[in-house]
Amino acid sequence: MISNKSLGTVAAGLWIASLFLPAVSACETGNGMEYGWESLVLGWINITSGNLVWLANIPLLIGIAHCLRGRSPSFIMSMIMLAFAATGFVPYPIFMGDAFPPMVCHYKMGFWLWELSCVTMAVAAVRSKFYPPVSEPE
């Protein structure tokens, strides 16, 4: 069985890779593309428009830290993370200094890798919650 440490390493690798790839672009023209690191740095601004996707990074990074230490990630925190991550599928504005910012609806590779890192962390939490490791008799 794959260890939590291995799943944490995979989730961390996916998250880091997502930072260096295009993540989203605007609906109207496909322009206004944001890389993952731009979404990480500026994504908190979207909270003011009602989109909570950026907040998924907080429980994701906490879960990755738990896994890399060999501990189980929190099941409840992972479900909250997935709920926040799911809000990324609702079109939201890209703030580029425009009076009327364009909406996001084109998802690029960085976005999908980030979502996959969230799912990987949730798999670790679900597995730890419902399939705890069985200790071998001595």
In a domain, 22, yes or no: yes
H helices, E strands: number in the chain:
5, 3
| Whole-number Å distance between alpha carbons of 115 and 11 | 10
| Reported confidence tier of residue 26, pLDDT bands at 50, 70, 90 | confident
| Whole-number Å distance between alpha carbons of 11 and 64 | 7
In a domain, 137, yes or no: no
| Reported confidence tier of residue 24, pLDDT bands at 50, 70, 90 | confident
Report the number of distinct structural domains present in the chain.
1
In a domain, 136, yes or no: no
Q: Residue 8: give the domain boundaries.
A: 4-130
In a domain, 36, yes or no: yes
| Whole-number Å distance between alpha carbons of 64 and 68 | 6
In a domain, 9, yes or no: yes
Query: If you average pLDDT over residues 46-50, what whole number do you get?
Result: 73
In a domain, 135, yes or no: no
Query: If you average pLDDT over residues 56-66, what whole number do you get?
Result: 94
* Contact between residue 1 and residue 7 where contact means Cβ atoms under 8 Å apart: no
> Is residue 32 predicted with pLDDT exceeding 80?
no
> Is residue 43 predicted with pLDDT exceeding 80?
no
Query: If you average pLDDT over residues 12-38, what whole number do you get?
Result: 82
In a domain, 19, yes or no: yes
pTM: 0.84
**What residue spans of 20-138 are helical by DSSP H?**
36-42, 57-68, 75-86, 109-130
Query: If you average pLDDT over residues 114-135, what whole number do you get?
Result: 88
Phi-psi bin for 30: left (phi > 0), alpha (psi -120 to 50), beta?
left
